[in-house]
Amino acid sequence: MRIVVDAMGSDNHPAPDVEGAVLAAREFGETIILVGDQAQIETELARHNTAALNIEVKHASQKVVMADKPGDIVKGKPDSSLHIGLQLVRDGAADAFVSAGNTGAILGVAMLRPVGLGRIPGVKRPALGVMFPTEERPLLIDNGANADCKPDYLLQFGVMGSLYVERVLERERPRVALISNGEEEGKGNSLIKETIPLLQASNLNYIGNIEPKEFMQGAADVGVVDGFTGNILMKTAEAIASYMNNMIRDELMANPLTVVGGLLAKPAFRRVRQRLNPDEVGGAPLLGVNGVVIIGHGRSSAYAIKQAVSQARRMVTQQVVAAITAGLTG
């Protein structure tokens, strides 16, 4: 198997991206193709023991910078690591693409054919899945690829999310729910209300509508939501978690007794952080494009990159793209 890792993706690229690729090559024994500035990649690679590892480097002459807008990258930087990397997958020279880069740009290049992969036939809108970082790890789909959605998009998100969870996480008959502002009949906006009959008529294991609380507690394996609301939900969850962490730290520091308490309690806080660590989750699969694409967080560590490669690898072995192709046409 050959997996592309975008060396220029993460906020701190290329260090975590290259190290993650090295870790992945070592652990999984697959070939990793690092795409990006060749000189920078080789400098980073020299810091690691890469003997006996299958690591290739593919030069990309253009660099995506912070100020670039997704649209500018898609059209204006045809030799970026995103373009080169996704084209390797498009042309069958690689099996999967992993990047911690600009989500909008990756979506743009990946969805566009012939520049990138294009959609699986029958897919109305590719969508970003993301494993919600509570322990139950339910899949939220869409996490922001589609700000405006129609009922038939949401139905397809349910199909793609269900196939992903079934194949990659090996859960049988994943429970699919709509994420809504209430579980009762009559709750939801018109998008939710119009999607319900489509899900009911599908062969998905649709269990109804759930609120964010039930979703994060694992009441469903797949939470279907439009990309605008899904993105707000994820960002709210991250923001509250970080707000509370900061406040707890400040208050622990506020007097000597609680400082001592905080020190003694440190292992507990560390376990909480581990249990809710988004790095464990890997990255967000872009479902519905004609190839395996995993998008990592901009702040990805080397470990997170390695986890994202592991996830990409499972999507390849479990033939998720073929399953979605069959699921949407069959």
Distance of CA 236 to the CA centre of its chain: 17
Q: Are 98 and 312 in contact (CB under 8 A)?
A: yes
Supply φ then ψ for residue 284, to 5 degrees: -100, 120
Closer residue to a second copy (CB): 21 or 224: 224
- Nearest approach in angstroms of CB 325 to a second copy is 29
For residue 33, which of 13, 1, 58 has the smallest C-alpha distance? 58
Closer residue to a second copy (CB): 156 or 180: 180
- Nearest approach in angstroms of CB 210 to a second copy is 11
Sheet holding 96-99, edge to edge: 55-59, 31-36, 2-6, 96-99, 292-295, 284-287, 127-131, 139-141, 222-224, 175-179, 205-210
- Nearest approach in angstroms of CB 59 to a second copy is 30
Closer residue to a second copy (CB): 219 or 324: 219
Q: Give dist(CA 138, CA 248) in Å, integer.
A: 27
Residue 234: both structure tokens together: 């994820």
Closer residue to a second copy (CB): 93 or 260: 260
Closer residue to a second copy (CB): 118 or 218: 218
For residue 178, which of 204, 146, 144 has the smallest C-alpha distance? 204
Q: Are 137 and 131 in contact (CB under 8 A)?
A: yes
Q: Give dist(CA 317, CA 9) in Å, integer.
A: 24
For residue 101, which of 17, 222, 227, 206 has the smallest C-alpha distance? 17
- Nearest approach in angstroms of CB 315 to a second copy is 25
- Nearest approach in angstroms of CB 270 to a second copy is 9
Closer residue to a second copy (CB): 169 or 276: 276
- Nearest approach in angstroms of CB 68 to a second copy is 12
Label residue 321 left, alpha or beta by phi (over 0 means left) and psi (-120 to 50 means alpha). Answer: alpha
Handedness of CA 251, 257, 259, 264 (dihedral sign): negative
Rule CB under 8 A: which residues touch a second copy? 69, 71, 134, 144, 147-148, 179-181, 184, 186-190, 192, 211-213, 216-217, 226-229, 231-233, 235-244, 247-248, 251-252, 254-255, 257-258, 260-269, 271-272, 275-276
CB < 8 Å & 24+ apart, contacts of 40-43: 40/7, 40/14, 41/7, 41/14
- Nearest approach in angstroms of CB 234 to a second copy is 9
Q: Are 97 and 293 in contact (CB under 8 A)?
A: yes
Closer residue to a second copy (CB): 227 or 283: 227
Closer residue to a second copy (CB): 209 or 290: 209
Closer residue to a second copy (CB): 31 or 134: 134
Residue 281: both structure tokens together: 């989750």
- Nearest approach in angstroms of CB 128 to a second copy is 12
- Nearest approach in angstroms of CB 205 to a second copy is 23
